A = this chain, B = another copy of it.
Amino acid sequence: MKTLVIISHPDIMESGSQQYLLSSIPNDTNITVRHLESLYPDFKIDVPKEQALLKEHDRIIFQFPLYWYSSPALLKKWQDDVLTDGFAYGKKGKALTGKEFGLVLTIGVKKEEYQPGGREAFSIDELTKPYQALALKTKMIFLKSLPIFQFSYLTETQKMALLIRYQQYLTREKDDSLEAREKWFIQELQMTDLSKLNEGDQFILEQTVEFIEENRDTIDELKMLLDQMN
């Protein structure tokens, strides 16, 4: 599976969350990352290039900070220019059919505010309806979103958990069985450049792999026992 990550952030160098996510992207040739503001500072999108990239990938991710409950303007320009009638929708527009489409959102306000009675009143699921509608129109499969609330307040452990969820979001096939999740986890960790992480994080990661492998052994033994009893 090949994944295209389209990032829109006008000030990505100053964003702790975006830098963390970028540094944790596995060293994987099946992942293509594009930062729109670096590529198109003048808002002039290379439409044929973007359309070709979309065709080559199976999972399309929009990654952006929530600005006025939507993406920064350049990603909207990308949508308006690239997702044309005859390409993304309409009678002859089948280029995106069957691909997966997901949102990675960085959000400055805490999760609890995004509900009735909260300061933001509407949930992230409500506010992202335009993207759900986009998936529907282009016949893409809408993935559960990955909203990241108040990144700078996360503990180190929460950040590690986020790193794993993010890597899964980019690369794990849509198979939610425990075995598939384990397999993915070990595979990806082998591709993660541990030297980029601090020592504490490295230790947690290595420990986690050991636990998983031990658990798998126990599960397999129990299964064998059950088989013998039947």
Residue ranges of A at the interface with B (Cβ–Cβ < 8 Å) = 10, 42-43, 67-74, 76-77, 79-80, 83, 120-122, 126-127, 129-130, 132-134, 136-137
Contact = CB atoms under 8 A, between A and B. Distances in A.
Given A80-B68, A121-B136, A73 B127 contact: no
Nearest to A131: B69
A69 B127 contact: no
A120 B89 CA distance: 12
Contacts of A70: 70, 76, 130
A69 B128 CA distance: 10
Contacts of A136: 120-121
B129 A69 contact: yes
Contacts of A79: 67-68, 73
A121 B134 CA distance: 11
Contacts of A71: 76
